[in-house]
Structure 1
Amino acid sequence: MDRGRATRSRRGTVGRWSTAQRRGIAIGVSVATVAGLAAVTWPALAGEDPPGSERTPAGPSQQIVDALARDLSLTPAQARARLEREQWARGTTQRLRSELGAGYGGTWLAADGNQLNVAVTDQAAAARVRAAGAEPKLVSRNARQLDTVKASLDRIADEATPDVAGWFVDVSNNRVVVRAQPGSEAAVQRFVRSSGAPANAVTVVPSTEAPVPLIDVRGGDPYLIDGRARCSIGFSVVGGFVTAGHCGAEGATTSSPDGVAQGVVSASSFPGDDWGVVETNDEWVPQPVVNDFDGGTIAVAGGQEAPVGSSICRFGSTTGARCGVVEALNATVVYPEGTVTGLTRTNVCAEPGDSGGSWMSGDQAQGVTSGGSGDCTVGGTTFFQPLTEILDVNQLTLVTTANAPGAPPADPPAATDPPAPTDPPAATEPPAATEPPATEPPAATEPPAASPPPGSECAEHKALKTATLGAGRRQVQPAGRYFRAGHGRQSGCLDGPAGANFDLILQKWSRGGWRTVAVSNGPTADEQISYSGSAGFYRYRVESRRGAGDYTLGFSVR
């Protein structure tokens, strides 16, 4: 992660919270009491898929299709057709925004997702829109002018009363909408006039919305802040992940729910914005996936922003996968802790516990949950912090299927193997210089797995390997390769020959090499390892300090 990244956001100082703001956040943060919340997966040999698993197919995942069909009352075929149309709309929007310049007034999809509408300020721009396959709509204000009107309200956001829920640019009606509690419209109109915004460019709409940050969270994969507050991972970036800013201030430490050290909050902004960045340690490998809360994951292919009217799905641990549509971009929300601007407004429901979680449009990452109003029983409005701003302000790279860290090679070069910690050799052992190089024997030289000898201490483990190890040699198990393991506790057991001294080493593939994460190096050939760690690729290494003979290795993931 680039430590030289920008340390200020466009709308405030990163990580600077007032006492009152921290007090407001603390009200909603829960204290974690459950030791283990994440499911683990049984190890599978590299190059094989665990029973019942499926490789991620091309195009939208089945989980997205199912959630979209459920929440938008579509058939699976209609959901897939909509997602394909929206993929085209995202690319067309990006291109037209650049090509039309001052003639561009915003884009939105029709309610059924089929027609892409583009606001334009002149006929020349309208002709280019038609040529691109979209429908032009002549308007009086371009996108920059609308943003200027909204910015005039943002400048006096601190003067907004609790009667104001927030405001956003309504591109389809070429105006800025301010939402106010019913009966307070006259007072809110005075607030609007004091901003200096043109009266004909702003509309005050009565609304019962009362957004609050969704703080009691573990959407996506859960993590702890300073061992107490529980939040959720948004998306993986190179070196860590992004999440909601109200989860923790800069410098806070993070860990897994069962206490495994994870990283530190390297940047945070709330209010003003609502984003946070966690820099993880070497034991955590960011992956391009989102927990689908249905026993699988959804691949992240990119981060292209979806236009207004696009379908979108939110993933959170309280309410699972929920879908709806994008209602507005660049919305301002007035929370009790302060005003946050630049959010995306949706009609997707959410509840406490969903904050910080991931938002996806098709296979494109969109942002992290900030807050909202309502719930998933009666429906509601939820806002998310767009991912593009988090990446831009902090100079981060989103981890996608195109740039994800790959699986380790079946036989990685010896140079990537750091030496395992060792005790001083006994007087009868040869000096270290006489030991053979740390190359792994090919899998073909490993004897096949067999039943452990009667009475073996390792028989209770599900995965068992038996082999013969020569004096001063080392072997990698299972079968010279590695296995996949989910987040959780791992146990390893080595039952070696009497009179020998074998060591047992657990390694994890991290950032291009094998890193030793646990070692058992007692004076005999019988060793035990217990290690709690994150999901990833692992392998065991058995080393002979003294002696040779048959051994049994058993290992499990709980």
Structure 2
Amino acid sequence: MQRDLGLTETEARHRLAGEKAAFAVEPKAVRAAGAAYAGSWFDAATGRLTVAVTDRHKTAAVRATGADTRLVRHSAARLDAARKRIDALGAPAGVGNWYVDPRDNAVVVGVVRGEESDPAVRAFLDRAREAGPVKVEAVRQAPTTLAAGVVGGDPYYTGNVRCSIGFSVHGGFVTAGHCGRPGSFVRGWDGSDMGTFQGSSFPGDDYAWVSTGHGWWTVPVVLGWGQTPDRLVRGSWEAPVGASICRSGSTTRWHCGTVLGKNETVNYSQGAVHQMTRTDVCAEGGDSGGSFISGDQAQGVTSGGWGNCSTGGNTWFQPVNEILGRYGLTLHTA
């Protein structure tokens, strides 16, 4: 965080303390807002959680939980319904992603620079605006998946692809779906037999789980690669938008940044992937499947993005709790 967010050690510790408090406040604030809830985010400037609401009569109850409030027009339910309608449209290659942004109180659609006048892009945006409140933003390039040919934490190999381990679960680990299909055989970092993909989904989703054996055992640890102490995993509370977050992967190792958006749809060349979280953490090929963690709380597995760790970029991850629920897995925690 000192390197990637430009913070002093004292500032980093203060921010982590504020984020931990926001994690605890968010579910209570969401309940207090009820149907008026319109999204929430961590404000690094104030060190507090901000909750958007559509009913001014709900502001007192939300503030009583310890959150700040902002009055907006559209509820989270309405914005999410609009996003789902846009999901069904089918996007051209010039559209990189779309997501609900609670701070803009709109569905934001990312259009690759230079593609704004493309007829297919313009037609998509016209249909998207019919679905609900839409804001268009320019993005530098379309995201791609981050698998790499053989030449997260720790690396693993399937076929001629190298990816990264996400998090240990009882019986194996979770990772990205584009790294392997059910039945694909996995080798560990040392080339030895490791396990088998038991479940995998991509596109639509980008998650998978691998059962392990052959002398491999699971531990509740994310590698810091000598740049920071290895992190114990103690749970999977979801970090709000605006919170700091770090990523571990087998190519670029340890990097940190901020949660920028949730429930985003990413339009890869292989097809759209839904319910993703966007960050400004960099990543490169081979980091796919690796760990995203906030403090000691597991957040998700690396999917893809644009840019690199020399010039920066955006990276998306698939939230870990969705993966655990999909396959009935239990996170290995300390």
TM class by smaller structure: over 0.9
Residue in 2 that maps onto 1:174: 105
Q: 1:331 aligns with which of 264, 285, 288?
A: 264
Cα 1:298/1:152, change in 2 over 3 Å:
same
> What 5-or-longer segments of structure 1 have no aligned partner?
1-67, 402-558
Cα 1:332/1:84, change in 2 over 3 Å:
same
Letter matched to residue 350 of structure 1:
A
Letter matched to residue 164 of structure 1:
V
**In 2, Cα distance between the equivalents of 1:101 and 1:281?**
46
Residue in 1 that maps onto 2:73: 140
Tell me the secondary structure at the aligned position of residue 103 of structure 2: helix
Residue in 2 that maps onto 1:541: none
Residue in 1 that maps onto 2:115: 184
Cα 1:140/1:364, change in 2 over 3 Å:
same
Residue in 2 that maps onto 1:366: 299
**In 1, Cα distance between the equivalents of 2:271 and 2:238?**
26
**In 2, Cα distance between the equivalents of 1:285 and 1:99?**
42
Residue in 2 that maps onto 1:207: 139
Structure 1 residue 293: Cα displacement: 0.6
Q: Is the 8 A contact 1:82 1:113 kept in 2?
A: no
Q: Is the 8 A contact 2:147 2:161 kept in 1?
A: no
Structure 1 residue 353: Cα displacement: 2.0
Q: Is the 8 A contact 2:148 2:286 kept in 1?
A: yes
Does residue 279 of structure 2 align to residue 346 of structure 1? yes
Letter matched to residue 110 of structure 2:
R
Percent identity between the two aligned chains: 48
Structure 1 residue 195: Cα displacement: 4.6
Q: Cα RMSD between the aligned structures?
A: 1.8
**In 2, Cα distance between the equivalents of 1:232 and 1:80?**
28
Structure 1 residue 285: Cα displacement: 1.8
Residues 245-265 of structure 1, C-alpha deviations (whole Å, 9 max, x = no match): 110000111122333221110
Structure 1 residue 196: Cα displacement: 6.7
**In 2, Cα distance between the equivalents of 1:217 and 1:288?**
27
Tell me the secondary structure at the aligned position of residue 313 of structure 1: strand
Cα 1:102/1:248, change in 2 over 3 Å:
same
**In 2, Cα distance between the equivalents of 1:143 and 1:134?**
17
Q: Is the 8 A contact 2:288 2:302 kept in 1?
A: yes
Residue in 2 that maps onto 1:274: 206
Does residue 43 of structure 2 align to residue 110 of structure 1? yes
Structure 1 residue 189: Cα displacement: 4.0
Residue in 2 that maps onto 1:71: 4
Tell me the secondary structure at the aligned position of residue 79 of structure 1: helix
**In 2, Cα distance between the equivalents of 1:334 and 1:192?**
14
**In 1, Cα distance between the equivalents of 2:181 and 2:195?**
13
Tell me the secondary structure at the aligned position of residue 100 of structure 1: helix
Q: Is the 8 A contact 1:217 1:317 kept in 2?
A: no
Structure 1 residue 395: Cα displacement: 1.1
Q: Is the 8 A contact 1:153 1:192 kept in 2?
A: no
**In 2, Cα distance between the equivalents of 1:333 and 1:372?**
9
Tell me the secondary structure at the aligned position of residue 185 of structure 1: coil
Q: 1:129 aligns with which of 62, 81, 106?
A: 62
Between 127-136 and 263-272, the greater mean CA deviation after superposition: 127-136
Does residue 96 of structure 2 align to residue 154 of structure 1? no
Tell me the secondary structure at the aligned position of residue 25 of structure 2: helix
Q: 2:215 aligns with which of 270, 283, 302?
A: 283
**In 1, Cα distance between the equivalents of 2:256 and 2:130?**
34
**In 1, Cα distance between the equivalents of 2:286 and 2:207?**
16
Residue in 1 that maps onto 2:174: 242
Structure 1 residue 345: Cα displacement: 0.5
Q: Is the 8 A contact 1:289 1:299 kept in 2?
A: yes
Letter matched to residue 175 of structure 1:
A
Structure 1 residue 367: Cα displacement: 0.4
Instruction: Provide the TM-score with structure 2 as the length reference.
Output: 0.94
**In 1, Cα distance between the equivalents of 2:130 and 2:31?**
26
**In 2, Cα distance between the equivalents of 1:310 and 1:259?**
37
Report how many aligned residue pairs link the two structures. 330
Between 74-83 and 211-220, the greater mean CA deviation after superposition: 211-220
Cα 1:111/1:86, change in 2 over 3 Å:
closer
**In 1, Cα distance between the equivalents of 2:283 and 2:190?**
26
Q: Is the 8 A contact 1:217 1:356 kept in 2?
A: no
**In 2, Cα distance between the equivalents of 1:375 and 1:213?**
12
Residues 309-341 of structure 1, C-alpha deviations (whole Å, 9 max, x = no match): 000011112222111100000111111111111
Q: Is the 8 A contact 2:247 2:292 kept in 1?
A: yes
Letter matched to residue 324 of structure 1:
G
Tell me the secondary structure at the aligned position of residue 189 of structure 2: coil
**In 1, Cα distance between the equivalents of 2:306 and 2:272?**
15
**In 1, Cα distance between the equivalents of 2:243 and 2:213?**
36
**In 1, Cα distance between the equivalents of 2:193 and 2:31?**
44
Residue in 2 that maps onto 1:259: 191
Tell me the secondary structure at the aligned position of residue 148 of structure 2: coil
Residue in 1 that maps onto 2:309: 376
Q: Is the 8 A contact 2:199 2:208 kept in 1?
A: yes
**In 1, Cα distance between the equivalents of 2:129 and 2:135?**
14
